[in-house]
Amino acid sequence: MSLVIRNLQRVIPVRRAPLRSRIEIARRMLGVQEFDLGIICVDNKHIQRINRIYRDRNVPTDVLSFPFHENLKAGEIPRPGFPDDYNLGDIFLGVEYIFQQCKENEDYNDILTVTAIHGLCHLLGFTHRTEAEWQQMFQKEKAVLEELGRRTGSRLQPLTRGLFGSC
């Protein structure tokens, strides 16, 4: 099914083609390529507004995920009953925030991919409210990113623990 990437901001350039390619590979690896997925790139002002409305946190953040199928167990693939239910949900990427958080030696486009995959894992029921949940999510992301690296020649690492607590 479709992967829609919308860039609704003009602060930071977004190279959609490489992001699309990497996310398509990750979707196939996770077995969810037949599900629709939306990725929306926004600036700090908009991600902060969404964060305030839905999470009662009045600060910008890197990623917010809105699953179509709620209450999935970690890693569970949805089993839709109707064709219209083949939807994973939407991932909002705070691209300005992500850019500002990049360290000098990090590639912004790589971090954008890592953050999008983190959001995708949230759509598949992974969370990180506890240490055990964080470990489970970290291991899944690490496996996906390592395989993605083998397929694309990139060296991608999961986000650090300090960043995980914020989404």
Please state, in angstroms and rounded to a whole number, the distance separating the CA atoms of residues 17 and 63: 19
Mean pLDDT, residues 75-92: 96
pLDDT digits (tens, 9 = 90+) for 108-150: 999 999 999 999 999 999 998 888 999 999 999 999 999 999 9
| Neighbour-count burial for 107-125, b at 16+ CB within 10 Å, e otherwise | ebbbbbbbbbbbbbbbbbb
Pick the closest to residue 127 from 74, 66, 81 (CA basis).
74
How many C-beta atoms lie closer than 10 Å to residue 35's C-beta? 23
* Domain spans in the chain, listed from the N-terminal domain onward: 3-152
- CATH of 3-152 among 2.60.40.1180, 3.60.10.10, 3.40.390.30, 3.50.7.10: 3.40.390.30
Query: Would you state the pLDDT for residue 159?
Result: 79
What pLDDT score was predicted for residue 105?
Answer: 85
